[in-house]
Structure 1
Amino acid sequence: MQPIPSFAGDPVKFIREKDGVTVFPETYLSGNARAVKLQVITDNIIRVMASPGKEIPGRKSLITVYSPPSADFTLTESTDKVTVQTSSLTATVTLATGAVVFTDKNGRPLLAERPHNGRNLQPAVFEGQSVYGITQTFETTDGDAYYGLGQHQDDIFNYHHRQVFLFQNNTEVAVPFLISRKNYGILWDNYSLTKAGDTREYLPLSRLQLFSAKGEPGWLTASYSNQRQHPEKVAFTRAESIIDYPYLDDSKKNLPADFAVKTGVLTWEGSIASDFSGLHTLRFTYGGYLKVWVNGKLMADKWRQAWNPGTALLEIDLEKNKKYPVKIMWTPDGDVSYISARWINPVPEADRNAFTIQSEAGQFLDYYFIHGNNMDEVVSGYRQLTGKAPIVPKWAMGFWQSRERYKTQHELLQAVAEYRKRKLPLDNIVLDWSYWKEDAWGSQEFDPQRFPSPDSMIQALHERYHARFMISVWPKFYEGIPAYREFDKQGWLYRRNIADRQRDWIGKGYVSTFYDAFNERARRGFWELLHKKLYNKGVDAWWMDASEPDVLSNVSPEKRKEQMSPTANGTAAEYLNAYPLENAKGIYNGQRSVDADKRVFLLTRSGFAGSQHYAAAIWSGDIAARWEDMRTQISAGLNFSLSGIPFWTMDIGGFAVEPRYEKPTAADLEEWRELQARWFQFGSMVPLFRSHGQLPFREIYNISPEGHPAYKSMQYYSRLRYRLMPYIYTLAGMAYHRDYTIMRALVMDFPEDENVREIGDQFMFGPSLLVSPVYVYKARERSLYLPSGGGWYDFYSGKYFDGGKRITVAASYETMPVFVKEGSILLSGPALQYTAEKKADTVTVHVYTGKDAEFTLYEDEDTNYNYEKGAFSNITFSYKEAGGTLTIGGRHGEFPGMLRDRVFRVVWISRNEPKGWNPEGKADEVVRYSGVTVKLVKK
């Protein structure tokens, strides 16, 4: 195809290329882009790049691993546009502006870049190097909703009209992948500080109309009390219009000297008003206790440990210029604490169907548009770009016990022994930080006084207790230890924290820094250190803590960039958020290079796009042990799963504990036990089942005595998890073989049901189980929604309910509402104390009739990589409602050690014959199976 003349004297408007087209727009209409390229990756993935120069710069992406594109496409031109069309997707770019519009194969609009200057490439400088701030605004159609973008703690599910800040931080995980309920996704290939959604700046309180407690315009009345038990005893008051102590040392440096932070309470009172009508958002950062009242209503009652502050978003509907009384009460936690308050006015009407992605630093704009027939296909496209999710070892799908921390070898072994004695299932025990000598962080060596024989300890775990051993490793080094000296000599360490003489919180305080994970040689060196000091002792898995990197907790993004400058790849501003990806890559590649037969398993506190490719699971960080934090984990886990990374977990029970639980009254102790039981119920049905936290100890038997409702509930759900292992491990196999998502937002499975768009406190665990955690203290019932499109069976009783309804169901102390989708096949195996105790030679097959159903049992060798070479088997169970026929298909595939002969016990459940889940109950049919197709007809 020959190019046609330009508008303004350029020799060409566009150039056809073998993998797409490059357009040369007018810079004053294109946000400073002089070249925009559409690259066809697959039939349903198109990459868009925009450069401030005439050529698209070449670079190696950190997050993509796909093969060179080879999709077929056609290119057509008109007077002012060029269109790229594949068999399933069309992208049309306007020649003058470079703006791109995406439609499906039938011409239905999906997404469009804003037509005029929706893109912006703004020159910027970091570390003396020229880069660009990059912005792209998109416009979509009515009724859209956005999810994904990692893991965040604002208890927001649908990000439409909200702002998401992508900055790796303890409890916050930045993943620049957004997915729409309209079956498209955006993978944003940029590693810098990024905002997505409504990217307008949050404003200081002073930008609102403020009135004092007496009604005087211009400020709020700040009352300082030095007696938190008697906040009414005010030491002094001040007029204040800004609340801004968000980062380390802000409060210590800037609060009045006469305020006793350790014992005091600070209260702001008055009224607010706005010149806008509509939904306003107040955003608080807080350490300690925070209470906020607006118009007399308590809208926030929060607590978070001082060293890891939380955030709270309050959405308030205000009428223009109407005064609303406000009261903000802050009780600091310790002498260094945090409080800030900012706000943003309603989204302008012109942006009602828009969202923006804005990154601080990059060489050019680079994103992938992914389309699918459903959200699963979009996630599959993400993994096609960034890498498959390897199957975790089967033991990782069992229960893990952890605490902060087992201080001795004896403590750790005794915990496992007690689980075995009580016949409570357990697969993995975790050793948290500080197993080294106090002054030897980064040595990766055990303190011989407390861990005299780690090799024997791990051997006992493996051989006597049949348990796996995971150990915490940080990318952190104390100044002066041998490992530090070696890394320093090689130039592998960040130097700023050393130059600052910044001491940590251990003992007298030690100066430390982190290694540069962007340096390939440093990654190899870090793995070699772990291999020599730990892996050779028999370590099974790695807990990669502080991988943000948390060089110093709760510093500003600017300080974090200083601490990481320079990286081996370039400026810290450009590469900031990708650190956890590179850190995981080094250990994954390292272990596979020395032990090809043992599955790598990483648990990391932070992740990035592509983390799943390096066997990384992510947990939600040092959250608080509060009911509201439990609820927040549901939406956080769902959005994280919608970010394309299938293995997620949390600290069951919450990590950080309020002082009232450390030495509890009788009432506080009972609340603690109920919180732990409810959280344990929830945790039993997320991808990874893991208990962890500070004092009080988190072992089931330390939470409550045997016979207590909390104990009985945790015992039941632990045993249930293991009974469901044929179902659960199949989900892990599906995550690899079919790019499946295990913890599923309802929008994935019920896209036609408008009611599920905002539901972030229920989810599907696999294709069959609807999970509705209870997160309110003393609640004994729960309101929940049963999606439309079919009926639902109560898991415990088998009672049938119609879908498309909100119902209130009983939720006793010991049970969490769980429903089974009509048209499901749920497989249950034998009772187990650990996943490898015995094979599932007898499987109970619960068939929930009413609609056609299908489930394929997946099995492999559990702990090696032979499945990558085809060593696995599938047995498909399919039910046809029309004839009431269950077909157990012929086995496909095989692997060493496979069960060739087994028993399937079939239980039929129907609306007229309700039966609760019971793998020990009487079977309706018993089938002896040897790999050949069997057909059964419901009688």
Structure 2
Amino acid sequence: MTKNLTLLLSLFLCLTGLNSKAQDFQKTPQGIKANVGSVNVEIQFYNPQTIRIIKTPTGVSLKKESLSVIAKPENTELDVTSSGHLISITSSKIKVSLNDETGKVAFYTLDNKPLLNEKDYGVQFTPTDDAGEQTYIVRQAFRLGENEPIFGMGQFQKGKMEQNNQKLFLRQANLETVIPFFQSIKGYGVFWDNYSPSYFTNNPQETSFESEVGNCADYYFMYGGNADGVIAQMRHLTGQAPMFPYWTYGYWQSKERYKSQNELVGVVKKYREIGVPLDGIIQDWQYWGDNAHWNAMEFLNPEFPDPKKMIDDIHNLNAHVIISCWASFGPKTKQYEILNQKGMLMDFKTWPPFAENTWPPKPDAKPSGVKVYDPYNPEARDIYWKYMNQGIFSLGMDGWWLDSSEPDHLDIQDKDFDNITYLGPFRKVRNAFPLEHVGGVYTHQRESDSSKRVFILTRSAFAGQQRYGANSWSGDVVASWEHLKDQIPAGLNFSLSGIPYWNCDLGGFFLWNFHGGIENKAYRELYVRWLEFGTFIPMMRSHGTDSPREIYQFGQKGDWAYDAIDKFINLRYRLLPYTYSTSWDVTANSGSMMRALMMDFPNDKKAINLNNEYLFGKSILVCPVTDPLYVQKKDSSMVEDFSTVKTQKVYLPEGTNWTDFWTGQQIQGGQTVEKEVPIDIIPLYVKAGSILPMGPLVQFADEKIDPIEIRIYPGNDGDFTLYNDEHDNYDYEKGAYATIHFHWDDAAKKLTIDDRKGEFPGMLKKQKFQIVLVSEKQGTGLGVTAKPSKTINYSAKKISLKLK
């Protein structure tokens, strides 16, 4: 062993606190500070349920301002006691102890039930060099309960619901979204507040975070009692999610790419001509022209001669448009010139790698020269918005597609992370790139114009990004049945990480497995099933390359693929009152739109780890079809066969009854059923006691919102709050909105509609409700009820009615 290695090992052991002697502690307004061997430990209560644990090597001054956490510590009444080597701090909700000999921190309920323990001597600081800065590799280890399920960690497309028994490399990538946060079935969560590439490990011996760079171990423990409570604490820490515009919950059409403004507008016109609802259209890249002008935020492509007219034409068709912008710039753009002069560009290989747009590249292809900007720099974010506003937003653009927001990092070299950003070496802040980038656009647009809600579609996220009006998609997935299956637990774990808005490319981005694209019948079946799943996620958006995806590309009325797509797009629109009210629950109550079954059925062991079912909102159980059933390979061709209706197994969680959405049949929970799934049906079940509002059939979201069909699913008492506002500004933050609370008394078969609370400009003074008590004869499927149980003209005053 060399002398230097011996010294390094000695320092390592010293910093881990091994064989160290206990020291005194001191009380602070938020908790305590103590020194354990060569480690300073601080326990800070942010509120009675959320505690920050900070550990630093003795002698290291801590200067850290969190990029994710925006909450400040509240005044919390605490009881601090000590006995032997244990120091205990108790709030009105939770108890924390510190062993001042081993450094172990442990968390308990007030009745002393263990929640989470650190391992003895569980923190480690290993000296390292980060682009000339002396810092540490930081590791913190915990010991979970035996067979304790945990969830979250962002989006990793491995098909797993529980995040146990695996090692994850935490560095943002196209298909992987890093959020270093997990929550337990016990009702607590842990957020590791570090932005450098890290490892998360869970096995029977330990659960740990290990980060490449950090001058402290810094994590937040939050106790919510259940998954909703944990998410509420995480949002309290990192920010609440604002409302999206109403129209964003309609149907979106996109592809890679519309090559002219005539083609873009023509798609919207075609949807209006054929009578299929549409609200959003997306313009992908290259409207700026060649790669030297990459992301110029100008319409330099001659196929887009009048972008203002293009946007106006779309608006006149009662639709909306968003456009692709990137976190990088070509060498001939105005942005590149000024950012380069100011030293605000990073030097690593990003997309596009070559100057020409041809793919695959020519043997003599020259580098593109495109470089990523430094979003950690507030001045760079100002510059980014200046050109985005001048060149695009001022024309009337409705939102943003911030592509490659992780960003693309090709041919990764360790030296790439030595780039110096505004906040220090890139390695130190790598994973927070999407948070800073998306946050810059959101903040600037809100400062510029509050009459239009910010809507950002983006490919990556980090903890806290929900506060910036962003909906993240799962990346450039390859079309396959396996990847469709993977989307379900990927989206659910993303939501369980505290960020409620997620979506994916319906049909898969690349069609490498399906020669012929949509002409391939096997792909048509996959696309239909993927779109059916997409009806029940926060954003219903068709997108991909290699083949067009517009509904009319799949034939016409009477063709099985066309009819199924049409049916589910219309179902999406009928559900708008339910979906928009659920989005209000997200904003007002830290709710979740996609709900893993462990959220509502934590005591049902069969439900906890199911990776193919979930709740959309709190009422609708969704079980997407993720296997080919009707198109099979025969000889050398694909053959469709609909002569026999196939079935799919569905587990209905225990503790409640369920009603088949399509048939009205009531079924007891706690059992697996076989559901018939013709090509235009996926298993949908509504929880007993649910009150489900369904809007009229429309061609676009704001065409009309009246009458609303109120479906009552008997079998239990139930409540629902119907929400409405102006649909596209921030006046709701000032109280300009209205809610109507519905209560169903199942024993008395009585529905009570309370007084309407609140008001807003343009609100309907009277509203028609068609009340339906769902049975096998009435209130099923997509159709508008011909004969409701009762029809009332509601004028904002409380009313009760009996139903038979």
Q: What range describes the TM-score normalised by the shorter chain of this pair?
A: over 0.9
The answer as to 2:489 corresponding to 1:639 is: no
Residues 800, 914 of structure 1: 8 Å contact kept: no
The 1:770/1:557 distance shift into structure 2, 3 A limit, reads: farther
The 1:705/1:926 distance shift into structure 2, 3 A limit, reads: closer
Residues 547, 606 of structure 1: 8 Å contact kept: yes
Aligned partner of residue 37 in structure 1, secondary structure: strand
CA distance in 2, matches of 1:796, 1:901: 30
The 1:560/1:715 distance shift into structure 2, 3 A limit, reads: farther
Q: Alignment partner for residue 876 of structure 1, among 741, 748, 759? A: 741
Residues 646, 741 of structure 1: 8 Å contact kept: yes
Aligned partner of residue 13 in structure 1, secondary structure: strand
Shift of 1:762: 0.6
Q: Alignment partner for residue 805 of structure 1, among 667, 671, 678? A: 671
The 1:119/1:63 distance shift into structure 2, 3 A limit, reads: same
Corresponding residue for 2:605? 754
Shift of 1:899: 1.4
| TM-score (ref. length: structure 2) | 0.92
Residues 510, 544 of structure 2: 8 Å contact kept: yes
Q: In structure 2, what residue type is equivalent to 1:738?
A: N
The 1:698/1:890 distance shift into structure 2, 3 A limit, reads: same
Corresponding residue for 1:852? 717
The 1:935/1:9 distance shift into structure 2, 3 A limit, reads: closer
The answer as to 2:33 corresponding to 1:22 is: yes
CA distance in 2, matches of 1:917, 1:514: 47
CA distance in 2, matches of 1:462, 1:418: 15
Residue by residue over 1:226-271, the C-alpha shift from the partner in whole angstroms, topping out at 9 and shown as x without a partner, is: xxxxxxxxxxxxxxxxxxxxxxxxxxxxxxxxxxxxxxxxxxxxxx
Shift of 1:506: 2.1
TM alignment of 1:295-694, pairs within 5 A = 351=205, 354-438=206-290, 439-463=292-316, 465-497=317-349, 503=354, 506-507=357-358, 508-509=365-366, 510-552=368-410, 555-556=411-412, 558=414, 561-562=417-418, 565-658=419-512, 660-662=514-516, 669-694=520-545
Residues 405, 433 of structure 2: 8 Å contact kept: yes
Q: In structure 2, what residue type is equivalent to 1:835?
A: A
Residue by residue over 1:377-430, the C-alpha shift from the partner in whole angstroms, topping out at 9 and shown as x without a partner, is: 100100000000001111111111000000001110111111111111111100
CA distance in 2, matches of 1:730, 1:54: 52
Residues 122, 141 of structure 2: 8 Å contact kept: yes
Corresponding residue for 2:694? 828
Residue by residue over 1:118-159, the C-alpha shift from the partner in whole angstroms, topping out at 9 and shown as x without a partner, is: 221221111011111111111122341111111111111101
Residue by residue over 1:185-205, the C-alpha shift from the partner in whole angstroms, topping out at 9 and shown as x without a partner, is: 01111001122133xxxxxxx
CA distance in 1, matches of 2:61, 2:671: 52
Corresponding residue for 1:195? 199
TM alignment of 1:858-937, pairs within 5 A = 858-910=723-775, 915-916=780-781, 918-937=783-802
Q: Alignment partner for residue 50 of structure 1, among 43, 46, 55? A: 55
Residues 159, 197 of structure 1: 8 Å contact kept: no
CA distance in 1, matches of 2:695, 2:79: 52
* Number of aligned positions between the proteins: 765
Aligned partner of residue 117 in structure 1, secondary structure: strand
CA distance in 2, matches of 1:641, 1:391: 16
The answer as to 2:713 corresponding to 1:709 is: no
Shift of 1:911: 7.7
- Structure 1 residues without counterparts, runs of 5 or longer: 1-5, 28-33, 199-346
CA distance in 2, matches of 1:768, 1:704: 34
Residue by residue over 1:812-868, the C-alpha shift from the partner in whole angstroms, topping out at 9 and shown as x without a partner, is: 111111111111110001111111112x23111110011111110011111111111
* Sequence identity percentage: 36
| TM-score (ref. length: structure 1) | 0.79
CA distance in 1, matches of 2:147, 2:690: 30
Corresponding residue for 1:698? 549
Shift of 1:886: 0.8
Corresponding residue for 1:172? 176
- Structure 2 residues without counterparts, runs of 5 or longer: 1-16, 359-364, 631-645
Residues 22, 100 of structure 2: 8 Å contact kept: no
Shift of 1:892: 1.1
Shift of 1:528: 0.6
CA distance in 2, matches of 1:914, 1:650: 31
More displaced stretch, 574-583 vs 805-814: 805-814
Shift of 1:660: 3.9
The 1:432/1:80 distance shift into structure 2, 3 A limit, reads: same
Residues 138, 355 of structure 1: 8 Å contact kept: yes
The 1:161/1:933 distance shift into structure 2, 3 A limit, reads: same
CA distance in 2, matches of 1:914, 1:729: 21
Runs of 4+ in 1 over 4 A off after TM superposition: 6-12, 910-917
CA distance in 1, matches of 2:297, 2:713: 51
TM alignment of 1:212-291, pairs within 5 A = none
Aligned partner of residue 472 in structure 1, secondary structure: strand
Residue by residue over 1:309-336, the C-alpha shift from the partner in whole angstroms, topping out at 9 and shown as x without a partner, is: xxxxxxxxxxxxxxxxxxxxxxxxxxxx
Residues 514, 551 of structure 1: 8 Å contact kept: no
Residue by residue over 1:670-700, the C-alpha shift from the partner in whole angstroms, topping out at 9 and shown as x without a partner, is: 1111111101100011011111001210111
CA distance in 1, matches of 2:628, 2:158: 20
CA distance in 2, matches of 1:765, 1:659: 30
Q: In structure 2, what residue type is equivalent to 1:585?
A: G
Corresponding residue for 2:639? none
Corresponding residue for 1:310? none
Corresponding residue for 2:110? 105
